[in-house]
Chains A and B, each alone.
Chain A
Amino acid sequence: MTNVLLLMFTISLLYLGIAHRLLTYIKILAVQGILLFGIAFIELIQINAVNLALILLETIVFKTIAIPLFLQYVMKRNRITRDAEPFLPNFISLIIITLIIITTFILSNTIADSRISKIFFVVALSTLFTGLYIIVTRHKIITHVMGYLIIENGVFILSLAVGNEMPVLVNLGILLDIFASVFLLGIFVNRIGDELKDVDVDQLKSLKD
């Protein structure tokens, strides 16, 4: 069952490559939150109940509900336009993301360790690189934040791979998530919309040598 959820997670990554509107990105983030909830529930069933409840609560509340709602609020308040404004056309994004998935698959075969489940590793790494790719190829600042959230989802999956032996690492991952959400979103994109009139990365050029 975990494999099914991870496969659906990968399909969501592909959908991210061809999405045009920012609202679609937000919906994909919410869906990824639900999938992570399912995976966490199945994988971590052996750790103590309070910890598990905390992790599940965090996944649902933060990743699925709070962050998408907050992103929508920020978009509405700063009047950010609907389009995602990529540097490269979506067609090429799709090809690149497919190549990322294939490359991580081949890469994971060089790992001789039998203890780490390969599918976790492949999905986590492809999510990481996809998130990085999204940060690099999009104009808007808010898509940078979304790319960072996708990277975090990837790190979360990676931490689930060892979650059973060391639940403290999953907790640290959640701490990272909370830190990033409170911080990146709560303080800055709000103000950035106010102060920097255009939420475009090209505006962040005045600090140069």
Chain B
Amino acid sequence: MINFILIILASLFFTGIIIRTKSITSGRKGPGIFQPLKDIIRLLKKGAVYSKTTSFIFQIAPSIYFASVITAIMVIPLGNYKGLISFEGDFVFFAYILGIGKFFNIISALDTGSSFEGMGASREALFSMFAEPAFFILMGSLALLTGHSSFQQIFSSLHFGSSISYILGIMATFVLTIITMVENSRMPFDDPKTHLELTMVHEVMILDNSGFDLGLILYTSSLKFAMYGSLIANLFMGDFPLYLTIPIFFGMQILFAMAIGLLESFTARFRMNHNAQYILALSSVSLLIFLGVLLILGQFN
């Protein structure tokens, strides 16, 4: 229960910190940290307008998206404490519940009948397809390393002993960060600020949503950030007692948010048709993590 509350709390200020960091690095003062939250609350109070060419899918998709992410958050542990849902092999459940949300997002974009949104949907599908093996290979290697297959057991028994496991930890952090950027359509894969056909992936899918739905979708993306941040925090938390884990957790979230802000400020967006190979490179790097794990275990097939 406690990690659920912590993640929700973290999501409240996560996007704000990112925007604030980006503003400060550009020399501006920027909006307040809770400004995105206030935008979302404003949106939630408005009514939604539904296009006549859409079907019921368009109306239920944002809710399903939101629900899927909430369910996924319930799986994530915090140090020694299990998530609300925890069983053997739950990281597969985690990945695919997120997949359901993404699927509904995609088909609701296709539902509007606009070719613009269809383009965004196809790009989103392609990038997620390439990022998925990276995530699975990473979690698979961690599962192989610790010998367990549920999130909580994996993270609680992850020890960093030899130097090679440190470098594996760093590589895993790198992979998870890039997965975050891909999933949330941030730079360098997509520019959330420009709404041009050349650069849009996620923004274009939600062009037709309004009011309450839009508010839900925006809040869900903050939730996803906080979710991935908590995954990374979990890599380093291990077995610490509660009074240590909470500050570490918030500290890592803030650091993660600032890191994303810096990453976004200083990298240019990749060429759109090169995006696919960079994401696939991610899978290759996680493959190297897998081979490294095999090395540590000293067992080869």
Q: Is A in direct contact with B (CB under 8 Å) within the complex? A: yes
Q: Which A positions have Cβ atoms within 8 angstroms of B?
A: 1, 3-4, 7-8, 10-11, 14-15, 17-18, 20, 89-91, 94-95, 97-98, 101-102, 105-106, 108-109, 118-119
How far apart are B123's CB and chain A's nearest CB, in angstroms? 15
Contact between B163 and A109, CB atoms less than 8 A apart = no
Contact A94/B281 with A10-B288, A106-B301, A118-B300 known, Cβ cut-off 8 Å: yes
CB-CB < 8 A to A20: which residues of B? Answer: 274
CB-CB < 8 A to B300: which residues of A? Answer: 105, 108-109, 118
CB-CB < 8 A to B280: which residues of A? Answer: 91, 94-95
**Is the CB of B192 closer than 8 A to any CB of chain A?**
no
A108 to B274, CA, bound (A): 33
Contact between A3 and B295, CB atoms less than 8 A apart = yes
A18 to B292, CA, bound (A): 22
CB-CB < 8 A to A102: which residues of B? Answer: 287
CB-CB < 8 A to B292: which residues of A? Answer: 3, 7
Q: Which B positions have Cβ atoms within 8 angstroms of A?
A: 163-164, 167, 274, 276-278, 280-281, 283-285, 287-288, 291-292, 295, 300-301
CB-CB < 8 A to B277: which residues of A? Answer: 18, 89-91, 94
| Closest residue of A by beta carbon distance from B130 | A91
| Closest residue of B by beta carbon distance from A118 | B300
A90 to B163, CA, bound (A): 32
Known contacts A4-B164, A18-B281; 7 additional CB pairs below 8 A are: A1-B163, A11-B288, A14-B284, A18-B278, A20-B274, A98-B284, A109-B301
How far apart are B278's CB and chain A's nearest CB, in angstroms? 7
Contact between A101 and B291, CB atoms less than 8 A apart = yes
A105 to B295, CA, bound (A): 11
| Closest residue of A by beta carbon distance from B300 | A109
- Counted as pairs of residues, one from A and one from B, with CB atoms less than 8 Å apart, the total is 54
How far apart are B232's CB and chain A's nearest CB, in angstroms? 20
CB-CB < 8 A to A4: which residues of B? Answer: 163-164, 167
A158 to B283, CA, bound (A): 27
Contact between B285 and A14, CB atoms less than 8 A apart = yes
CB-CB < 8 A to B288: which residues of A? Answer: 7, 10-11, 14, 101
How far apart are B269's CB and chain A's nearest CB, in angstroms? 15
Contact between A7 and B301, CB atoms less than 8 A apart = no
Contact between B287 and A119, CB atoms less than 8 A apart = no
A8 to B171, CA, bound (A): 10
How far apart are B298's CB and chain A's nearest CB, in angstroms? 10
CB-CB < 8 A to B291: which residues of A? Answer: 101, 105
CB-CB < 8 A to A118: which residues of B? Answer: 300
| Closest residue of B by beta carbon distance from A91 | B277
CB-CB < 8 A to B164: which residues of A? Answer: 3-4, 7
How far apart are B15's CB and chain A's nearest CB, in angstroms? 30
A90 to B270, CA, bound (A): 14
The 3 closest A-B pairs by CB, nearest first: A91-B277, A98-B284, A109-B300
Contact between A11 and B278, CB atoms less than 8 A apart = no
CB-CB < 8 A to A8: which residues of B? Answer: 167
Contact between A14 and B281, CB atoms less than 8 A apart = yes
How far apart are A21's CB and chain B's nearest CB, in angstroms? 12
How far apart are A107's CB and chain B's nearest CB, in angstroms? 11
A89 to B276, CA, bound (A): 12
| Closest residue of A by beta carbon distance from B166 | A4
A101 to B288, CA, bound (A): 9
- Give 28 pairs: A residue, B residue, CB < 8 Å, sorted on A: A1-B163, A3-B163, A4-B164, A4-B167, A7-B164, A7-B288, A10-B288, A11-B285, A11-B288, A14-B281, A14-B285, A14-B288, A17-B281, A18-B277, A90-B277, A91-B276, A91-B277, A94-B277, A94-B281, A94-B284, A97-B284, A101-B284, A101-B287, A106-B301, A108-B300, A109-B300, A109-B301, A118-B300
CB-CB < 8 A to B295: which residues of A? Answer: 3, 119
CB-CB < 8 A to A7: which residues of B? Answer: 164, 167, 288, 292
How far apart are B271's CB and chain A's nearest CB, in angstroms? 9
A1 to B164, CA, bound (A): 7
A91 to B280, CA, bound (A): 8
A18 to B271, CA, bound (A): 13
How far apart are B137's CB and chain A's nearest CB, in angstroms? 11
CB-CB < 8 A to A108: which residues of B? Answer: 300
CB-CB < 8 A to A98: which residues of B? Answer: 283-284, 287
A14 to B295, CA, bound (A): 19
CB-CB < 8 A to A14: which residues of B? Answer: 281, 284-285, 288
How far apart are A119's CB and chain B's nearest CB, in angstroms? 6
